[in-house]
Amino acid sequence: MRFRRGFPAGAAVVIAATAWIFPLAGISGAPSSHPWKSSVPFNEALFAPSTQTNVNLVGTEKLSILVTGNVVLGWHETVTAKLSHTLGTDNLGRKYKAKGSYSLTVQIPPGPPGRTTVFPATFTLYPPRASCPGGCGHDPILVPATVTLNADGSVGSVQVGHSS
């Protein structure tokens, strides 16, 4: 029985073929496994159906964005949003409060992930108690987060609310 030393030629062919077929598989993964986090201030005008009035909402949306995947298999972008210190005032000076959190994952097809996605984050608006003697319902409100990813999967820009 004889043992050969060295690198087998068949293994070299397999490695070369794999590198030729999937040139970006090893180098084009998500930038890190840690989420991008930021608190984004916003100012949003909306309509409160329970009190039939317009409300100007001012606050902060805390965002956590995690991008996983690669150019060969595709990407998953998970956005988690939570309202923080978000208050509103209607045209009569009544105070409103908005609360809640929202999480959504989107799938991005194989290739570079550079794209813009709008996440329709829905929260709850609580009307002032004084204006609802019989009790008002809570209103669902939409405060979207628009996330733009760079070609390498890192977060390029974030906008909260409908206006820029």
- Where does the chain show beta strands of DSSP type E? 36-48, 53-70, 74-90, 95-99, 101-108, 116-119, 122-126, 139-142, 145-149, 155-160
Q: Are 39 and 62 in contact (CB under 8 A)?
A: yes
Residue 52 is predicted with a pLDDT of 87
More confident residue, 48 or 162: 48
What is this structure's pTM? 0.72
Residue 147 and residue 79 in contact, taking contact as beta carbons nearer than 8 Å: yes
The per-residue pLDDT for range 115-161, each reduced to its tens digit, is: 899 999 899 998 887 666 666 778 899 989 999 999 888 899 999 98
How far, in Å, CA of 40 to CA of 60, rounded?
5
Taking only the tens place, the pLDDT of each residue in 3-50 is 556 556 555 554 554 444 444 444 445 555 688 999 999 999 999 888
Give pLDDT, residue 23.
45
pLDDT for residue 77: 92
153 torsion bin: left (phi>0), alpha (psi -120 to 50), beta (else) = left
Q: Where are the domains of the chain?
A: 28-160
The per-residue pLDDT for range 49-106, each reduced to its tens digit, is 888 889 999 999 999 999 999 889 999 999 999 998 999 999 889 899 999 999 999 9
Report which residue type is found at 52. Answer: Q
